[in-house]
């Protein structure tokens, strides 16, 4: 069963709706004790990374999340929280994946936010099982996770290559919104719920 | 590469879709959930619901509709119409809407754009602008083009961007309903002048109009209603055509 970290950063109605459509059982994580109730953990998140980190710290869950050995999936800002630092609010984040979250550079002739469907090329990670490479996912973000070959499991391009998905040990993150990415996104959520470590 | 988006627009009144919709296999053309699902199946990239419910008391029905759509739909959607406050927007966000679109409320109170962007992020705030050419100048209009304002369209859009609008939905009232094509001249000027995405609206009548607007302007998405509702332009066919012109689309 999936536990969704409930720390007040953005709305989770779309995520819980997607899980319901897929018949994936889920519950909410409000306290450290709740983390033990679930086999898989999702950290959602929309909005400002610095503010989201403050909210997560207020729940007292940062330490317990870092110590988890079960599969964890960060979505959008939830993914960015896994990184060391974000230029958004010059915020120190959880530092689980040693990479940086940076602002897109509009001097490259791109519009910010990066909003819409973009294709990814993935590296056959189990998270993307059954998803063809070059499949498009729905992105909405102004900050991105720098490409690092060690942790990158899917790459997208917007002005420059960046990580659409990362993995370090049991921690996974996706910058796009699987709950809004059509059947490919639903497949990814299903794959995550089936991950075994 | 980021795809150009194709966005069907649905008018909603009291939680039901209005205007004739002519899908062959649709059981209930007034059911926004079924209609939305059909569009998602066809390959629509996003949907816009325009709530034309007259009275404030009936807003609860709209909220319920948004929830039903969010439960079933696996692509993003925007809801617009009658949003005048943070509280209106928050109720829609909590019901699963990905974005809200504001129009006249922002003209009357530009601060609303900034307040919404601060509260929910710029990605949540779409500014809808209805424009009409008056004595050679593009002027912002309200009430479906009936009421002229003192705002010049391009100035207003620049200001909205600086206040925190995350996307512009620009409808040319001169082109809307004519089926003679989008206002490519204005759309290109606007898309070049700002650094946020622009959705082209008004004038779509045939496939070539979509090709034109994507080849001739820097817009990021194109919105239409009747050509999709009446099946005049099937979305899969439209996307195949766009692809033939090397316009990036999601197939």
Cβ contact A111–B70 (<8 Å):
no
Shortest CA gap B135–chain A (Å): 32
Q: Does A114 participate in catalysis according to the annotation?
A: no
Q: Assign A55 a pLDDT band (cuts: 50, 70, 90).
A: very high
d(CA A97, CA A61): 17
Domain of residue A79, CATH code? 3.40.50.880
Q: Which residues in chain B are contacts of A137 at CB distance < 8 A?
A: none
pLDDT at B21 over 60: no
Instruction: Find out whether A49 and A74 touch, Cβ atoms under 8 Å.
Output: no
Q: Is A69 in a helix, a strand, or coil?
A: coil
Q: Note down the domain range covering A172.
A: 2-194
Instruction: Find out whether B127 and B167 touch, Cβ atoms under 8 Å.
Output: yes
**DSSP 8-state symbol, A158:** S
What ipTM was assigned to the predicted interfaces of this complex? 0.92
Longest dimension (CA), chain B: 48
Q: Is B155 in a helix, a strand, or coil?
A: helix
Query: CB contact, 8 Å: B68 with chain A?
Result: no
List the structure tokens of A195.
């991950």
Which parts of A67-181 fold into alpha helices (H)? 77-80
Mean pLDDT value of segment A106-125: 93
- Name the residue among A46, A114, A186 with its Cβ closest to that of B74: A186
Number of structural domains found in chain A: 1
Cβ contact B197–A14 (<8 Å):
no
Q: In chain A, whose CA is at the least distance from the CA of B1?
A: A118
Query: CB contact, 8 Å: B91 with chain A?
Result: no
Closest to A26 in 3D by CA, of A73, A83, A80, A77: A73
Q: Does B176 participate in catalysis according to the annotation?
A: no
> What does the pLDDT read at residue B22?
52
Give the containing element (helix H, strand E) for A97.
strand A97-103
> What does the pLDDT read at residue B26?
55
pLDDT tens digits for range B187-218: 999 999 999 999 999 999 999 999 999 999 99
Mean pLDDT value of segment B137-142: 96
Q: Which residues in chain B are contacts of A140 at CB distance < 8 A?
A: 76, 98, 123
Domains of chain B from N-terminus onward = 5-244 (3.20.20.70)
Instruction: Find out whether B228 and B21 touch, Cβ atoms under 8 Å.
Output: no
pLDDT tens digits for range B90-137: 999 999 999 999 999 999 999 999 999 988 889 999 999 999 999 999
Cβ contact B74–A21 (<8 Å):
yes
d(CA B216, CA B206): 16
- Name the residue among B74, B93, B196 with its Cβ closest to that of A18: B74
Q: In chain A, whose CA is at the least distance from the CA of B45?
A: A117
List the structure tokens of B65.
């509709």
Cβ contact B121–A47 (<8 Å):
yes
């Amino acid at each position: 069963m999936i536990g969704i970290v409930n720390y007040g950063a953005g709305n989770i109605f779309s995520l819980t709706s997607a899980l319901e459509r897929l018949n994936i059982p889920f519950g909410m994580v409000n306290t450290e004790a709740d983390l033990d109730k679930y086999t898989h953990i999702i950290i959602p998140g929309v909005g400002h990374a610095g503010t989201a980190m403050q909210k997560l710290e207020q729940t007292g869950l940062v330490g317990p999340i870092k110590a988890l050995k079960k599969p964890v999936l960060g979505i959008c800002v939830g993914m960015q929280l896994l990184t060391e630092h974000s230029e958004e609010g010059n915020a120190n984040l959880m530092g689980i994946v040693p990479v940086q979250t940076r602002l897109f550079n509009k001097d490259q002739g791109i519009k910010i936010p990066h909003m819409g469907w973009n294709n990814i090329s993935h590296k056959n990670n189990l998270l993307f099982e059954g998803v063809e490479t070059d499949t498009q996912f729905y992105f909405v973000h102004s900050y991105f996770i720098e490409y690092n070959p060690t942790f990158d499991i899917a790459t997208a391009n917007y002005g420059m290559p960046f990580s659409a998905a990362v993995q370090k040990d049991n921690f996974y993150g996706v910058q796009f919104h699987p709950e809004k990415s059509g059947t490919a996104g639903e497949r990814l959520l299903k794959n995550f719920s089936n991950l075994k470590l | 590469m980021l795809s150009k988006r194709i966005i069907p627009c649905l008018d909603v009144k009291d939680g039901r879709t209005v205007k004739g919709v002519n899908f062959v296999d649709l059981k209930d053309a007034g059911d926004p959930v079924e209609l939305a699902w059909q569009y998602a199946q066809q390959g629509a990239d996003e949907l816009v619901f325009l709530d034309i419910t007259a009275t404030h008391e009936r807003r609860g029905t709209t909220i319920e509709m948004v929830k039903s759509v969010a439960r079933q739909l696996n692509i993003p959607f925007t809801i617009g119409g009658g949003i005048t406050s943070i509280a209106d927007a928050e109720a829609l966000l909590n019901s699963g809407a990905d974005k809200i679109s504001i129009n006249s409320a922002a003209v009357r109170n530009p601060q609303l754009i900034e307040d919404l962007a601060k509260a929910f992020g710029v990605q949540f705030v779409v500014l809808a602008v209805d424009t009409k050419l008056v004595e050679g100048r593009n002027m912002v209009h309200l009430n479906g083009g009936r009421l002229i304002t003192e705002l010049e369209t391009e100035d207003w859009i620049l200001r909205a961007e600086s206040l925190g609008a995350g996307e512009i939905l620009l409808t040319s009232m001169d082109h809307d309903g004519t089926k003679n094509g989008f206002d490519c001249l204005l759309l290109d000027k606007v898309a070049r002048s700002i650094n946020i995405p622009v959705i082209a609206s008004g004038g779509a009548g045939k496939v070539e109009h979509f090709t034109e607007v994507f080849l001739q302007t820097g817009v990021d998405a194109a919105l239409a209603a009747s050509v999709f509702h009446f099946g005049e332009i099937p979305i899969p066919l439209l996307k195949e055509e766009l692809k033939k012109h090397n316009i990036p689309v999601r197939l």
